[in-house]
């Protein structure tokens, strides 16, 4: 009996040690977020006189940085929505189509095309900035859209949307291809025997089974495109077309850092991606787990 009690005691101590370790790791992970949040609620004087991890005292608490950050960033947030959603949906859909053609349709040259998609995944943004700027300068999208002044004024955002769509297709294709390899080929063969065309098979069978992976690719692409600053700095040339990350970059003071304002702006910019993860989190987990349907 005493031996059993000692064993239970050892198990209890191990579990307690595990819980303490997990709590410490969680605190370590969340401390930067907590520091940024508390900073966003402090006045400039309070921030300068207190630790970043310390909550603001009653006389140093303010939500003014949030109001100011939103006032200065709201139009940029709308601009980001204007180009991020189309680029996210298009890159995911085109990646799905390409992956379907690379997995469920037999044709010569598949391996070579697949290698091109793999190469596209590993091309860094920095290596294409100069040719990308030269390409869009040669295209002169604003002039091509002169018949529609409203669209011409947003040419920078259209360029961003097209660029991110093209850049996102390779990774979406690779993700979908891995997912489609788990779909039983007998289903496809049965549909072919019944006389279904290639497009009909995709639309009626493959596409409905792709919902979990669409959740994965949409979340992945939305997060990457929304948080991108590099392409925006190169392609967006007018302040009226600034996107969220550019507006956040503009919040830093010229002479004195307004850290409370910048932290409030950072949380505002992060809010859409957080909402996306909360809303589609279950589908995201199913897609990563390789579940179909």
Using N-to-C axis directions, what is the helix angle for 211-227 and 155-180, rounded to 10°?
A: 140
Distance CA 47, CA 98 (A): 52
Angle 118-162-170 from CA coordinates, rounded to 5°: 10
Mean pLDDT score, 194-219: 88
In the DSSP assignment, the letter for residue 63 is -
pLDDT tens-place string over residues 8-49: 556 667 788 888 889 899 889 889 889 999 989 998 888 888
pLDDT at 48: 82
3-state secondary structure of 61: strand
pLDDT at 151: 85
4 has pLDDT over 50: no
**Span of 10-14, 193-197, 203-207 with lowest mean pLDDT:** 10-14
Confidence (pTM): 0.86
> Which among 84, 88, 80 has a CA at the least distance from the CA of 218?
88
pLDDT tens-place string over residues 58-84: 888 899 999 999 999 999 999 999 999
pLDDT tens-place string over residues 119-166: 888 888 888 999 999 999 999 898 888 888 888 889 999 999 999 999
Mean pLDDT score, 53-59: 85
pLDDT at 256: 62
Confidence of residue 99 (pLDDT cuts 50, 70, 90): very high
Which burial class, exposed, middle or buried, applies to 96 when counting CB atoms under 10 A from its CB (0-12, 13-18, 19+)?
A: buried
225 has pLDDT over 80: yes
251 has pLDDT over 50: yes
Q: Pick the residue with more confidence: 172 or 125?
A: 172
Is 273 within 8 Å of 222 (Cβ atoms)? yes
pLDDT at 79: 94
């Amino acid at each position: 009996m005493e031996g059993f009690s000692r064993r239970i005691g050892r198990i209890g101590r191990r579990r307690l040690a595990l819980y303490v370790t997990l709590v410490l790791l969680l605190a370590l992970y969340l401390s930067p977020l907590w520091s940024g949040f508390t900073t966003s609620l402090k006045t400039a004087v309070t921030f300068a006189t207190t630790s970043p991890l310390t909550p603001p005292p009653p006389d140093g608490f303010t939500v003014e940085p949030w109001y100011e950050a939103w006032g200065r960033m709201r139009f940029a947030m709308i601009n980001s929505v204007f180009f991020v959603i189309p680029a996210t949906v298009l890159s995911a859909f085109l990646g799905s189509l390409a992956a379907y053609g690379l997995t469920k349709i037999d044709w010569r040259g598949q391996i070579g095309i697949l290698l091109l998609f793999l190469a596209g995944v590993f091309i860094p943004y920095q290596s294409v900035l100069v040719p990308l700027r030269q390409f869009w300068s040669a295209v002169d999208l604003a002039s091509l859209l002169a018949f529609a002044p409203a669209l011409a004024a947003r040419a920078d955002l259209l360029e961003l949307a097209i660029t991110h769509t093209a850049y996102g297709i390779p990774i979406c294709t690779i993700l979908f291809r891995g997912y489609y390899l788990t779909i039983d080929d007998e289903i496809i063969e049965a549909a072919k025997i019944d006389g279904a065309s290639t497009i009909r098979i995709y639309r009626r069978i493959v596409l409905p089974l792709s919902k979990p992976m669409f959740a994965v690719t949409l979340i992945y692409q939305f997060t990457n495109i929304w948080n991108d600053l590099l392409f925006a700095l190169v392609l967006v040339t007018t302040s009226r077309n600034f996107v969220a990350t550019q507006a956040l970059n503009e919040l830093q003071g010229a002479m004195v850092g307004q850290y409370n304002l910048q932290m409030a702006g950072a949380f505002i910019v992060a809010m859409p991606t957080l909402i996306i993860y909360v809303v589609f989190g279950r589908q995201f987990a199913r897609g990563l787990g390789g579940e179909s349907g």
